[in-house]
Structure 1
Amino acid sequence: MASLASEGTQMDESGRPRRHPSRGMYVLPSLFTAGNIAAGFYAITQSVQGSVGEPVHFDHAALAIGFAILFDGLDGRIARMTNTTSDFGKELDSLADVVTFGVAPSLLAYIWGFRMLPLMEHPGLRDQILHLGVFVCFVFLICGACRLARFNISVNPQPRNPGRPGRKYFVGMPIPAGAGVICSVVHCFNGSPINRPAMAFLWLGLIAFTGFLMVSSWRFWSGKEISLGNRHPFQMVAVVGVLIALLWLYSEYMLIILALGYLVSGVMARLAYSWSRERRQHSTEAS
């Protein structure tokens, strides 16, 4: 044992040499990251091919981003389960997220929401909407990239509105959730692009607000406490099974409910914290 320790072999709590995963195991989470990139690239190609006459391409792009969100959640969890986390994997995952959850949804949002607008009585209005659409979609992309950069360099970040002690939260909306807002709306309309200026302005506001939430310091539920190894694994499996069934049968409605519900949850948490803080201040001043 002494010779092993002297050579730098790590020991576990019982004093035995700790077994390291084989090199092949490090490839497993990277495969899911590669699937993430593939889904993002497919979404980009489908967005470019989409049109008013063939809206199915927009729907395929939205679904591809949705599947990429699943891959993004699995690669990190598998890396932690197999003890194969590495700096290379973290960097690759960040680059994949920029492509799949930054470039792909911003391009989809622009082409689907603005580029497909029909000719109007006032051509200048359409041009203004297109210019605003380019700017806002670019802002969404920049906000997502900044959110990833902040996440990579932050050590134990704390939101401005702290939640329950012991629970883990994201500081700002994660970029996959931001992309989920975009693709869930597109899929809810079955890929049929926006054809009215009023809807285009609403789309502008939603994209801009989602970008703001990504770079905000508001708390969002991380879901890291969910585990199949808890005291009631059967209940968790049953809930996941029901959720998958609902997503399969009513994906147009379930995806937008989940995406917008997550967005609203962060806003409500911030408002609730502000209200409670104001009440505490008033009670302190009154006393």
Structure 2
Amino acid sequence: MDKLQRPGISLRAIAPNAVTAMALCTGLSGAWFAMQGRWEAAIAAIVGAGILDGMDGRIARMLKGESKFGAELDSLSDVTAFGVTPALVTYMWALQHMPRFGWSITVFFALCMALRLARFNARIDVQDQPHKSAGFNTGVPAPAGAGLALFPMIIWLETGLDIARNYYLVAPWLLFVALLMVSSIATFSWKSIRIPADMRFFALVAIAGFAAALITAPLITLAVVCVVYLALIPLSMWRYGLVKKARKSAIPAEGA
């Protein structure tokens, strides 16, 4: 006689969801730090949420614990950690001093993050996603958008320049990042990067160097990452244009 299976959720399904919940709590804590004026801690909380967000999907695939529940929880976590929290932190840091439109811009950024993730979920089961299938994201992904939103604060903390905190600069920047997130431009996807076998050792050295830089000089390192990421966007658009052109030229050859 077969043993009756107990109802419930297996540990392999709980583990990735627990990491996602940790990412949500860590990211939301950034707003709590901002209420106390602890800006560096607020940035660290959002960066920590980004690290956890990068782990949960890999843990789910490794344990074969993917689920619809996990996907929905991940989207809610991303909206909170990378949409609501950076918007609130930026508002408390600079935009609260902006007359009339400071809060509107804050809400707009959080809304764009929610719209981006809703668009992703609506297409999650659609096979024809040219950006994704070619190794590109559609628009700037959530963690990158949060990091770019905090770029003026990072500059201000590192340099002490008051102009970086001026809402005449911060407000247009936040709008720009919000539009990047909901845009249809192609951006590089880290998941598509394949490291050649003979370069893996050097890749490990580079990762270790990045980790050391992030520990010893976190603000400078984050600023450099933001600048490099922005510089790569035109390159990713150009590369995706080549991919589209190659695909179009391959269609008649297949039909012949």
User: Does residue 180 of structure 2 align to residue 224 of structure 1?
Assistant: no
Q: Which runs of 5+ in 2 are unaligned?
A: 1-8, 245-256
Q: What one-letter code is carried by the residue in structure 2 that aligns with 1:170?
A: N
Please point out which of 104, 110, 113 is paired with 2:85: 104
Count of paired positions: 232
Aligned in 2, Cα 1:102/1:197: closer, same or farther, shift over 3 Å?
closer
Q: What's the secondary structure of 1:84's corresponding residue? A: coil
Please point out which of 256, 266, 275 is paired with 2:233: 266
Rounded to whole Å, the distance in 2 between the matches of 1:229 and 1:33 is 31
Retained in 2: the 8 A contact 1:63–1:183? no
Cα deviation digits, residues 263-284 of structure 1 (max 9, x gap):
3322454478789x9xxxxxxx
User: Does residue 167 of structure 2 align to residue 207 of structure 1?
Assistant: no
User: Does residue 138 of structure 2 align to residue 171 of structure 1?
Assistant: yes
Answer 1 or 2: which has greater helix percent. 2
Structure 1 counterpart of 2:54: 73
Retained in 1: the 8 A contact 2:158–2:219? no
Retained in 2: the 8 A contact 1:58–1:191? no
State how 1:65-214 maps to structure 2 within 5 Å: 65-115=46-96, 117=97, 129-154=98-123, 155=126, 156-159=128-131, 167-190=134-157, 199-214=166-181
Rounded to whole Å, the distance in 2 between the matches of 1:241 and 1:274 is 33
* Higher RCO (C-alpha under 8 Å, 6+ residues apart): 1
TM-score by length of 2: 0.80
Q: What one-letter code is carried by the residue in structure 1 that aligns with 2:92?
A: I
Retained in 1: the 8 A contact 2:138–2:184? yes
Q: What's the secondary structure of 2:101's corresponding residue? A: helix
Larger radius of gyration: 1
Q: What's the secondary structure of 1:131's corresponding residue? A: coil
Query: Matched residues, percent identical?
Result: 31
Retained in 2: the 8 A contact 1:247–1:255? yes
State how 1:35-46 maps to structure 2 within 5 Å: 35-46=22-33
Q: Give the Å deviation of 1:114.
A: 2.3
Q: Give the Å deviation of 1:228.
A: 7.8
Structure 2 counterpart of 1:59: 40
User: Does residue 19 of structure 2 align to residue 32 of structure 1?
Assistant: yes
Rounded to whole Å, the distance in 2 between the matches of 1:85 and 1:150 is 20
Retained in 2: the 8 A contact 1:114–1:194? no
TM-score by length of 1: 0.72
Q: What one-letter code is carried by the residue in structure 2 that aligns with 1:157?
A: Q
Aligned in 2, Cα 1:198/1:33: closer, same or farther, shift over 3 Å?
closer
Q: Which runs of 5+ in 1 are unaligned?
A: 1-21, 51-56, 118-128, 278-287
Q: What's the secondary structure of 2:82's corresponding residue? A: helix
Rounded to whole Å, the distance in 2 between the matches of 1:191 and 1:248 is 15
Q: What's the secondary structure of 2:137's corresponding residue? A: strand
Q: Give the Å deviation of 1:23.
A: 1.3
Rounded to whole Å, the distance in 2 between the matches of 1:259 and 1:222 is 15
Rounded to whole Å, the distance in 2 between the matches of 1:225 and 1:197 is 34
Cα RMSD of the aligned pairs, angstroms, is: 2.9
Retained in 2: the 8 A contact 1:69–1:176? yes
